Amino acid sequence: MANFTKFGDFQFDVLREIGNIGAGHAATALSKLMQKEIDMKVPQVRIIPFDEVADCVGGAENVVVTVFLRVEGDSPGNMFFILDMDSATHLLHQVTGISKTVQEWEEMEVSALHEIGNILTGSYLSSLADFTQLNLQPSVPGLAVDMAGAILSYGLYALGQTGDFALTIDTAFFEGNDQVKGNFFLIPDPDSLPILFRSLGVPFDGDY
C-alpha cells in the first residue's frame, strides 16, 4: 500500500498551492473566454480510496462532461476538467453563442468544448510548469460525456499498481450566478510526488 504517513501539514499546503496556482490561471483564462467573473474555492487535497474519487463530482453514476489529458514529462499525471451537463450547455452558449443542450451536440459543439477544455487545462499546466520549473507537456485532450466513475477511473490506473488510495488536487470554480460550475482535478502519478516536492524545495522522504 502506498505510504501517505509521511505527509505533514506542510506537504498538504504545498499541494493546495499547486491547485491554487494552476486552477487560478485556468479560471482567469475561463473568465476571459466568458467575459464574466469566475470565482474559485480553496483547493481540496484529498487522500481517498478509489471509490470515493467520483463522490467529489456527484457520485460514480452522475453524468458529466469531461476533458481529460495526460500530463507527460518530468512529473506525469492525469488532469480532468469536469462540468455538469447544465454548466457545459451554459459555457458553450456563453463562449460560442450556440444554444444546444448536451444531448443535441454534434461535431461542432463537441469540438468547441474540446477546445475550451484544452485552453483551460493548458493554462493550468503551463502555470504549474513555470512555477515548478519542470518540463510538463499535455497530451492531446479527449472529451467524454459519461458516468463520472467510468471517466475518473482513467486517472487511477497508475496509482492502482502501487496502492488503494488516490491523491487528488481538486479545485472547484463557479461563475458569479452559478450558471457554470465545475472542477479541475489533478491526479499525479505515484512517482511524481517526490519530483514535484523536490522541484519546490520541499522536504519529503516518503515513498508514496
Partner 1 sequence: MEIIKIGMADLGVAKPPSRLRTTGLGSCVGVVLYDEVHKVAGMAHVMLPESTLAKNGEPTVGKYADTAIPYLIQQMQKEGASIRHMVAKLAGGAQMFAFLGTNDMMRIGPRNVEACKLALKGAQIKIVAEDTGGNCGRTIELDSTNGVLQIRTVNQGVKEV
Question: Residue 58 is placed in which grid cell?
Answer: 456527484
The β-bridge partners of 67 are 81, 143
Q: How far apart are the first and last CA of the chain?
A: 9
Q: Does 68 bind partner 1 (CB under 8 A)?
A: yes
Question: Residue 55 is placed in which grid cell?
Answer: 463522490
Q: Segment 170-199, which members bind partner 1 (CB under 8 A)?
A: 190
Residue 34 or 120: the one with the smaller Cβ distance to partner 1 is: 120
Binding-site residue total for partner 1 (CB under 8 A)? 34
For residue 51, the Cα-to-chain-centroid distance in whole angstroms is: 17
CB 40 within 8 Å of CB 23: yes
**Alpha carbons 64 and 146: distance in angstroms, whole number:** 6
Among residues 13, 26, 49, which one has the least CA distance to residue 184? Answer: 26
CB of 107: closest distance to partner 1 in angstroms?
A: 14
Among residues 172, 145, 170, which one has the least CA distance to residue 38? Answer: 172
CB 91 within 8 Å of CB 166: no
Q: Does 149 bind partner 1 (CB under 8 A)?
A: yes
CB of 93: closest distance to partner 1 in angstroms?
A: 22
Q: Using the rule CB under 8 A, which residue among 147, 199, 200, 206 binds partner 1?
A: 147
Q: Does 138 bind partner 1 (CB under 8 A)?
A: no
**Distances from the Cα of 126 to the Cαs of 29, 81, 129, in angstroms?**
12, 15, 5
Residue 103 or 177: the one with the smaller Cβ distance to partner 1 is: 103
Residue 24 or 149: the one with the smaller Cβ distance to partner 1 is: 149
Q: Using the rule CB under 8 A, which residue among 37, 39, 130, 164 binds partner 1?
A: 164
Q: Which stretch binds partner 1 (CB under 8 A): 53-61, 105-113, 124-132, 168-176?
A: 53-61
Q: Segment 72-131, which members bind partner 1 (CB under 8 A)?
A: none
How many other CB atoms are there within 10 angstroms of residue 29's CB atom? Answer: 19
Residue 131 or 154: the one with the smaller Cβ distance to partner 1 is: 154
Q: Does 61 bind partner 1 (CB under 8 A)?
A: yes
Q: Does 146 bind partner 1 (CB under 8 A)?
A: yes
Question: Residue 33 is placed in which grid cell?
Answer: 473566454
Contacts to partner 1 by CB under 8 A: 1-2, 49-51, 54, 59-61, 63, 68, 70, 139-140, 142, 144-151, 153-154, 156-158, 160-164, 190
